Amino acid sequence: MKKNIIAMNASIMIGLGSILAAPSVYAESISNLEKQKESIQEKRSGVESNISDTEKKIDNLQDKQMTAEDQIAALEAKIAESAKKIDAKNAEITQTKKEIEALKEEIKVLKERIAKRNEVLKERALSFQETGGDVNYLEVLFGSSSFGDLVDRVGAVATIAEADRDILKQHELDKKDLEEKQKAVETKLASLEVAKAELLEIQKQQKQQKQEKDALVKKLKQQTKKHEDEKMGLEEEKANLAAQEKAIKSAISLEHQRLAELEAARKKAAAEAKKRAEQEAAQAAAQAASQASQASETKKQSTSSGYSAKSNSSSSSSSQSSQSSSNVSQAPAVSSGTFTRPSAGYVSSTMGERWNKQHAGIDIAASGTVPVVAAADGVVSRSYFSSTYGNVVFVTHSIGGQQWTTVYAHLSSRQVGEGAVVAKGQQVGIMGNTGHSFGQHLHFELHKGPWNYSKSNAVNPLNYIPN
């Protein structure tokens, strides 16, 4: 009998030991969650700093873009002014060319006049050669019939001589005038052509500068767009980190609640164990006192009691075995591993490079109304509509002190809100085709740690969920 009491006390102590040991496990879990919360807060601070830096870069790029656009406007004005000047030079060149054509007609007349004079001069020179020059004039003079006739002939000779001199003089003047006009017009045309060439070169340089500025503006716009996209991603990461911090706080609260419940259960179990020990000790003492006189009857009572307990146990077992768990319609059965499959269907795309971008998860496709379930116990950190993910749910998990994040994207509808506590296999939405999606499917991501914009914590879900 004493051995039975010792064995019973030992089993009670073992039970109490397991209850007493449990709080330390929960305390360790809370400690890990607190560390995860601090890590998320640090990351949020870093992301906020990155957002600030990105905003400064965007402001700087926009300032450069505005400066470049102002310079382009100034260059366009200069190009327009150069075009006006070139048009004016073209008009002057056209007018000068008309003057040249008119001068050609004058030159033609002058050349004819000079040619005639040359003929007269040639005849006069030939006459000089034949008569000896002045002899003709003497003959003219000596051939006069009277004094009046002599005077007339002397006047005529003087007139002819003067005419010869005028012809020679005019001949020289016409030639000189012709040369000067030709030179002036040619100089003017050459000057206009040089001025036009200079204006064309200036305009060419201005257009080249404008092209360079246009290219700079285009580049600045591309850089601005890149930083704006980066800022949007960082802001989304900031929002996700804030939601994850909130989820971690909720998990810590749940752990504290469980710890409090466990502490209450521990105290209650300890009190009940003490009471049972006292009752058993009293019963053992009473049984020892009356053992000699009531041995046979006690034995019968003990056997009857054993059969009754066994019968009750069997009945309870049968009742429990009759209960069955029901799964969500069309959802895969909840597996025994750390993570269960999030939906029915086939894997239409795996993790890796796709369309020159990193595909950070897997796609599971199926037709009809397909439930999507949580891959593990956790807290919904985000539930919203994203331009890329569409309807998406983020769930934060704390498993063995390690934080995990699962993402369920392109849902047709979401059935859980932020802060909700979900169980493994609990439905979170319906498979759909929202956001940047081509055909109905579930985009599922698994991150060992928090989700971030670069998705550096993403791991291949196929290594963790049942195929």
In the predicted structure, residue 18 carries a pLDDT above the cut 50:
no
In the predicted structure, residue 19 carries a pLDDT above the cut 70:
no
Q: How much is the average pLDDT of 72-83?
A: 85
Q: How much is the average pLDDT of 126-147?
A: 54
What's the pLDDT at 23?
54
**Which residues have a Cβ under 8 Å from the Cβ of 5 and sit 6 or more positions away?**
280, 281, 284
Tokens of 315: 């009945």
Where is pLDDT greater, at 389 or 240? 389
Tokens 């699962």 label which residue?
406
Confidence category of residue 293, pLDDT binned at 50, 70, 90: low
**Integer Cα distance of 333 and 276 in angstroms:** 42
Q: Over the stretch 141-198, which tens digit does the pLDDT of each residue have?
A: 555 656 566 555 555 555 655 666 676 677 677 777 777 877 887 888 888 888 888 8
**Which residues have a Cβ under 8 Å from the Cβ of 291 and sit 6 or more positions away?**
298
**Integer Cα distance of 365 and 354 in angstroms:** 17
What's the pLDDT at 314?
37
Q: How much is the average pLDDT of 417-439?
A: 92
**Integer Cα distance of 368 and 379 in angstroms:** 28
What's the pLDDT at 138?
54
Tokens of 368: 């009809």
**Integer Cα distance of 32 and 38 in angstroms:** 10
Q: How much is the average pLDDT of 376-405?
A: 91
Confidence category of residue 339, pLDDT binned at 50, 70, 90: very high
In the predicted structure, residue 336 carries a pLDDT above the cut 50:
yes
Number of DSSP helices (H) and strands (E) in the chain, helices first: 4, 12
Tokens of 377: 């116990």
What's the pLDDT at 11?
40
What's the pLDDT at 359?
92
Tokens of 403: 């934080």
In the predicted structure, residue 237 carries a pLDDT above the cut 90:
no
In the predicted structure, residue 7 carries a pLDDT above the cut 90:
no
What's the pLDDT at 334?
92
**Integer Cα distance of 48 and 60 in angstroms:** 18
Where is pLDDT greater, at 271 or 298? 271
What's the pLDDT at 28?
62
Q: Which residues pair with 396 in a beta bridge?
A: 379, 405
**Integer Cα distance of 379 and 418 in angstroms:** 8
In the predicted structure, residue 392 carries a pLDDT above the cut 90:
yes
Where is pLDDT greater, at 326 or 295? 295
Contact between 72 and 217 (Cβ < 8 Å): yes
Tokens 């109905």 label which residue?
440
In the predicted structure, residue 8 carries a pLDDT above the cut 60:
no
Q: How much is the average pLDDT of 6-16?
A: 40
The alpha-helical segments, DSSP class H, found in 323-395 are none
In the predicted structure, residue 208 carries a pLDDT above the cut 70:
yes
Q: How much is the average pLDDT of 16-42?
A: 61
What's the pLDDT at 305?
44
Q: What percent of the chain has pLDDT over 90?
A: 21
What's the pLDDT at 112?
79
**Integer Cα distance of 322 and 199 in angstroms:** 100
What's the pLDDT at 322?
37
Q: How much is the average pLDDT of 116-120?
A: 72
What's the pLDDT at 444?
97
| Mean pLDDT of all residues belonging to the chain | 76
What's the pLDDT at 369?
93
What's the pLDDT at 310?
36
Phi first, then psi: give them for residue 293, nearest 5 degrees: -85, -25
**Which residues have a Cβ under 8 Å from the Cβ of 156 and sit 6 or more positions away?**
140
In the predicted structure, residue 77 carries a pLDDT above the cut 80:
yes
Contact between 303 and 296 (Cβ < 8 Å): no
What's the pLDDT at 124?
62
In the predicted structure, residue 211 carries a pLDDT above the cut 80:
yes
Q: Over the stretch 258-288, which tens digit does the pLDDT of each residue have?
A: 667 656 666 666 677 667 767 767 776 676 6
Q: Which residues pair with 365 in a beta bridge?
A: 346
- The model's pTM is 0.45
What's the pLDDT at 91?
87
